[in-house]
Amino acid sequence: MEFSPYDPNLHRDPYPVYRELREKHPAFHNEGLDFYVLSRYPDVAAALRLPETFVSGKGLAVGLPAREAGSESVPLLNVLDGDEHHSLRRFVREGFSPRSIAILEPLIRNVARELIDDLCQQDVPDLVRHFSNPLPTIVISELLGVPITDRERIKDWSNAIMRFDPTTPGNIDPRAGVGPAFELAEYFGAVIEERRVEPRDDLISRLLQRRMAGRQLTKAELVGFGFLLLIGGHETTTNLISNTVILLDDHPSERRRLIDDPALIGNAVEEFLRFDAPVQGLARTTSRAVSIHGRTIPAESKVLLLFASANRDDRFVDEPDRFDVGRKSTAHLSFGLGSHFCLGAALARLEARIAFEELLKHIPDYRLTQRPVQRVKSGPIRGAVRLPIDLGRVASG
Ligand code: HEM
């Protein structure tokens, strides 16, 4: 069997391939790009719970030369390990708890409603361009305090970074994906300097002023964190919304359940995440040899942890390929697990709930008009490039 997350054919429907991996090759090795793949729920969860053995610091993508731990000019929370990771995470996590995030509900709802109004005015309404793409960028820009007028630039940088594919000819140089990252970091550095001179009521200004255990965040740490939020908060949430718009088009009876009982939507978000994860998987590097399923994965190997496959494992849920918005399960791995568990999970959940409360209230009968859907070309991300729709009946109010 062949498997690479960069295979363009995979993006149409990766789930039968994941099933084959789970059933026949639970510790698959891609010889060409030299990485291993874990695809069963218990294995992926166990690896995420062992961050000393499966380390993040040497990069989260497969097919790239190993990065030197700590080689970036700015420290990024998601590729720090051990104490360094723990101490930075403690510093920045305040403000991301479900309770702190809940106060954003009116802002998010207003943005969602305005975007739906705008979507309904379009000659060719596109759910990605007019809704799922701008919503998270506007929300995270507001939260951080970066000017809303810069959001197109941020979106372009974010797309270039997340969709970087090392197997495309010309992309072999790992620095190719770093160019836009560098520009985004530079941009963010300038915003920080502005807030230092003139603080406002935003996350950047609050982080600049925060003191903990006698120290403050360095400028490099702040740049790295802002950078990560702009990237992490954008493509992921956009594609959670896009993937769900497709799922509800494919499953009219599940859509009907949500229209008839909007109180179900909060719980259903967990099923949206489980069934078609926006981040399909991320890699770790082994710090020692690991024996698994009769195979020895040597030290210093790249191991891809397939969250999206784990979520469809019948070792984890019954009837995993059935999309059921009433399913009670939050133990999916779409936000990861353990020490690196997604810091923005509460925000993403809130944005998705509000997005579908508003979409299903205002355009309950929408239909996608372009099949097959054009998928985002990216190793880790599963999503849609565009989703033209027929609005159907538009309900105001
Ligand atoms: C549906 C939307 C989202 C998905 C599917 C998602 C997924 C993930 C995953 C899988 C990880 C774990 C990475 C790892 O284990 O290596 C992660 C980490 C992270 N996410 Fe998210 N994310 C989403 C939204 C957000 C948002 C909205 C933000 C910020 C506003 C955010 C910020 C972060 C940060 C800072 C980390 C790093 C945490 C750490 O390493 O300690 N994410 N996310």
Q: What's the pLDDT tens digit per position in 223-278? A: 889 888 888 878 899 999 999 999 999 999 999 999 999 999 999 999 999 999 99
Q: Which residue minimizes the CA distance to atom 7 of ligand 1?
A: 335
Give yes or no for residue 282 CB within 6 A of ligand 1.
Answer: yes
Q: Which residue minimizes the CA distance to atom 34 of ligand 1?
A: 343
Give yes or no for residue 342 CB within 6 A of ligand 1.
Answer: yes
Q: Is the peptide bond before 372 cis (omega within 30 degrees of 0)?
A: yes
> What is the percent of the chain with per-residue pLDDT over 90, rounded to a whole number?
65
Give yes or no for residue 231 CB within 6 A of ligand 1.
Answer: no
Number of domains in the chain: 1
Give yes or no for residue 240 CB within 6 A of ligand 1.
Answer: yes
Distance 396 CA to ligand 1 centre (A): 34
247 found inside a domain: yes
Pocket test for ligand 1, best of 85, 234, 342 (most atoms within 8 A of CB): 342
Q: Which atom of ligand 1 is found nearest the CA of 239?
A: 1
Interacting residues of 290 by C-beta distance below 8 A, sequence separation 6+? 53, 296, 297
5 found inside a domain: no
Calculated CA dihedral for residues 268, 330, 308, 334, nearest 10 degrees: 100
Give yes or no for residue 317 CB within 6 A of ligand 1.
Answer: no
**Among residues 357, 336, 163, 138, which one has the least CA distance to residue 244?**
357
Cα 333 from Cα 319, distance rounded (Å): 17
The domain containing residue 312 runs over which residues?
Answer: 15-390
pLDDT in tens, 65-113: 666 655 566 788 999 999 999 999 998 998 898 888 999 999 999 999 9
211 found inside a domain: yes
Cα 223 from Cα 344, distance rounded (Å): 17
10 found inside a domain: no
pLDDT in tens, 112-145: 999 999 999 999 999 999 999 999 989 988 888 8
396 found inside a domain: no
264 found inside a domain: yes
Cα 157 from Cα 231, distance rounded (Å): 9
pLDDT in tens, 270-315: 999 999 999 999 999 999 999 999 999 999 999 999 999 999 999 9
The CATH number covering residue 117 comes to: 1.10.630.10
Give yes or no for residue 355 CB within 6 A of ligand 1.
Answer: no
Q: Which residue minimizes the CA distance to atom 3 of ligand 1?
A: 236
1 found inside a domain: no
317 found inside a domain: yes
Q: Which atom of ligand 1 is found nearest the CA of 240?
A: 1
